[in-house]
């Protein structure tokens, strides 16, 4: 073996060992309690493993607002191999990330002939903290899997460029199609290949032929775009113009380009969710971001002949990030770490080729720091509570993190903490339907606990807090009515019972209790229909028959009163002997 191949093997070994060691702690993490249930643990088409029926579902489903059949199949294969042991699922993602690092090195080294610069780019890709989300989050398998096919597409295309042929072209197209079936992030690949034709592939200036050559690949990307929009709109994940105006999306997109670049250099404060700036973005920030983007773009364009790597690196970054920059807004995040899994490669290429060997020591130091930060960030994904607690600590007004943390704390029995997070969710984002639902349910549950503990006043306050957000909840209205009646607040209890019946007209207990309140306040004619409704809806409900017997007797309707006495006896309800004796002279046996 010559020294050059041996050196390449050693470089690959270093890359693989360093990247695996950096992310190995993910194997100790559980599922993240954030989309992992939809993708694996609660998905019957995945957790039952790979089979014909599940494969058919994967090809036709628009589940979780996405169409990515190869991603579903990969999760199902993991379920077959590892069951629901999270370590196995994390291992697959980690192995794919390591392979992606090696494939990136192989492609870049093969295309440029620059081994150490290619190794820097690959190691930056492999170790960077922005990639923790893609590797340590099981639900983001689509990132590492689609990038696997992305790298294979680049390798196949480079082989086609060196030795043109229909077989090699179709191989590149097949790899692209497979990547699109894992995640539609690859829709920009045909345009990226056109950029790479200039450098490092150096295919000349025959741009008309080069563009025509990409038409079949663009057709594949078009189909993938249509599938992605279909799945997202079917799931209701695409935010409308009325929710997020186009000008706000464009402003956020411009600012995000700058923020992503800054986070590449200084990856601090990383979080699973960055809230969209619903209240707008300062004009000076938008103007600064647009000016910076324009300035860099003009600069690299002017340097395209003397320093083509700057142009290619910048175009790689801008083009590959474009589908997820937020012009078509999916979800309510301003940006996401996972979106930088591939775009960051362009920035790394620009830096690696711009600086010579004299920057080797600083480069190694930067890579080491990134590796340490990634190792620490991987631990953040231990479980959902850790994940969202961290997000709240490093971001402002993170309504989604508060809401999700509340749900997880609720499941763990930490009810008061959960309720506090639900309240914070609605403080940040008033009108959030999911937050309102969660807070209402938590308040209702808290009210039940307080009532059982003999704290009716606190229970009443809890029920009312929940009903402020979900007034149509009949059981909660009923519980509030009972609590109010229990402390002698009959007037308020009456309204609560009536609200209960408004949403649940066949609630026997509500009819009966409302009848008691009305009768107690002397409104016999209003009480009577409620007792009659209770006895009609539930004939075996003895107390309603007893109340009717007494009311019918008072009204001189003796036959009907006796009938209700008999019905009460049949229901084993206690009858006042004095009522029976008073009825006796009026009844012919």
What value does the mean pLDDT of the chain take? Answer: 92
DSSP letters, 52-97, are HHHHHHHHH--GGG---HHHHHHHHHHHHHHTT-HHHHHHHHHHHH
The whole-angstrom separation of Cα 138 and Cα 39 is 8
Q: Any idea which residue has 């002997």 for tokens?
A: 577
Average pLDDT over residues 202-209: 85
The band of 356, judged by pLDDT with boundaries at 50, 70 and 90, is confident
Average pLDDT over residues 31-57: 93
Cβ contact 377:26 at 8 Å: no
Looking at residue 236, what is its pLDDT?
55
pLDDT winner (highest mean) among 262-271, 431-440, 484-493: 262-271
pLDDT tens-digit profile of 2-22?
457 888 999 999 999 999 999
The whole-angstrom separation of Cα 286 and Cα 203 is 38
The whole-angstrom separation of Cα 256 and Cα 248 is 12
pLDDT tens-digit profile of 304-347?
999 999 999 999 999 999 999 988 766 788 999 999 999 999 99
The band of 288, judged by pLDDT with boundaries at 50, 70 and 90, is very high
Displacement of CA 96 from its chain's centroid (Å)? 22
Q: How many other CB atoms are found less than 10 A from the CB of residue 496?
A: 27
pLDDT tens-digit profile of 207-264?
889 999 999 999 999 999 888 877 776 655 455 444 678 899 999 999 999 999 999 9
The whole-angstrom separation of Cα 283 and Cα 357 is 41
Cβ contact 277:252 at 8 Å: yes
Looking at residue 585, what is its pLDDT?
79
Which of the residue ranges 51-60, 189-198, 353-362, 377-386 would you say has the lowest mean pLDDT? 353-362
Q: What is the pTM of this model?
A: 0.87
Looking at residue 67, what is its pLDDT?
87
Q: Any idea which residue has 């984002």 for tokens?
A: 429
Looking at residue 235, what is its pLDDT?
57
Looking at residue 19, what is its pLDDT?
98
Looking at residue 570, what is its pLDDT?
87
Looking at residue 366, what is its pLDDT?
94
pLDDT tens-digit profile of 529-540?
999 999 999 999
Looking at residue 583, what is its pLDDT?
80
Cα-Cα end-to-end distance for the chain: 115
Looking at residue 227, what is its pLDDT?
86
Q: Which residue has the higher pLDDT, 320 or 64?
A: 320
Compute and round to an integer the Cα radius of gyration of the chain. Answer: 33
Closest C-alpha among 191, 231, 187 to residue 211: 191
Closest C-alpha among 285, 271, 502 to residue 402: 271
Average pLDDT over residues 492-508: 93
């Amino acid at each position: 073996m010559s020294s050059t191949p041996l050196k390449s093997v050693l470089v690959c070994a270093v890359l693989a060992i360093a990247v695996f060691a950096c992310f190995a702690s993910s194997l100790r993490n559980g599922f993240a309690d954030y989309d992992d249930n939809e993708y694996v643990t609660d998905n019957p088409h995945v957790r039952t493993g790979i089979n014909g029926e599940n494969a058919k579902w994967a090809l036709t489903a628009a589940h979780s607002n996405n169409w990515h059949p190869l991603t579903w199949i990969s999760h199902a294969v993991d379920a077959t191999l590892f069951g629901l042991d999270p370590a196995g699922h994390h291992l697959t993602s980690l192995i794919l990330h390591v392979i992606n690092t090696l494939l990136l090195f192989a492609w870049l080294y093969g295309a440029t002939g620059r081994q150490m610069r290619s190794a820097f780019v690959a190691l930056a890709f492999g170790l960077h903290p922005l990639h923790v989300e893609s590797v340590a989050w099981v639900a983001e398998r689509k990132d590492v899997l689609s990038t696997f096919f992305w790298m294979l597409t680049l390798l196949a295309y480079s082989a086609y460029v060196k030795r043109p042929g229909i077989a090699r072209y179709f191989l590149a197209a097949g790899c692209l199609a497979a990547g699109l079936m894992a995640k539609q992030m690859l829709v920009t690949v045909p345009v990226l290949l056109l950029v790479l034709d200039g450098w490092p592939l150096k295919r000349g200036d025959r741009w008309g032929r080069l563009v025509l050559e990409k038409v079949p690949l663009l057709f594949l990307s078009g189909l993938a775009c249509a599938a992605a929009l279909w799945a997202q709109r079917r799931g209701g994940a695409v935010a409308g113009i009325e929710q997020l105006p186009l000008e706000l999306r464009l402003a956020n997109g411009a600012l995000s380009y700058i923020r992503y670049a800054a986070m590449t250099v200084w990856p601090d404060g990383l979080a699973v969710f960055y809230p969209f700036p619903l209240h707008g973005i300062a004009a000076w920030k938008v103007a600064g971001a647009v000016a910076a983007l324009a300035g860099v773009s003009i600069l690299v364009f002017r340097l395209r002949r003397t320093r083509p790597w700057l142009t290619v690196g910048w175009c790689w970054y801008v083009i590959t990030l474009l589908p997820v920059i937020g012009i078509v807004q999916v979800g309510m995040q301003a940006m996401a770490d996972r979106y930088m899994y591939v775009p960051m490669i362009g920035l790394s290429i620009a830096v690696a080729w711009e600086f010579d060997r004299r920057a080797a020591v600083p480069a190694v130091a930067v890579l080491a720091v990134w590796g340490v930060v990634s190792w620490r960030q991987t631990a953040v994904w231990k479980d959902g509570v850790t994940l969202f607690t961290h997000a709240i600590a490093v971001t402002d007004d993170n309504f989604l993190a508060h809401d999700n943390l509340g749900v997880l704390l609720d499941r763990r029995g930490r009810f008061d903490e959960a309720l506090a997070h639900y309240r914070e969710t609605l403080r940040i984002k008033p009108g959030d339907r999911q937050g309102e639902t969660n807070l209402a349910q938590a308040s209702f549950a808290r009210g039940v606990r307080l009532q059982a503990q003999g704290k009716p006043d606190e229970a009443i306050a809890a029920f009312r807090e929940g009903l402020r957000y979900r007034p149509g909840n009949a059981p909660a209205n009923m519980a509030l009515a009972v609590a109010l009646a229990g402390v002698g607040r009959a007037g308020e209890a009456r309204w609560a019972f009536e609200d209960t019946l408004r949403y649940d007209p066949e609630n026997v207990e509500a009819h009966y209790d409302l009848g008691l309140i009305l009768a107690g306040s002397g409104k016999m004619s209003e009480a009577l229909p409620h007792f009659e409704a209770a006895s009609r809806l539930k004939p075996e409900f003895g107390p309603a028959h007893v109340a009717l017997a007494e009311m019918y007797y008072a009204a001189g309707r003796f036959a009907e009163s006796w009938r209700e006495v008999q019905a009460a006896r049949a229901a084993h309800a206690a009858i006042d002997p004095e009522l029976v004796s008073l009825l006796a002279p009026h009844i012919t046996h």
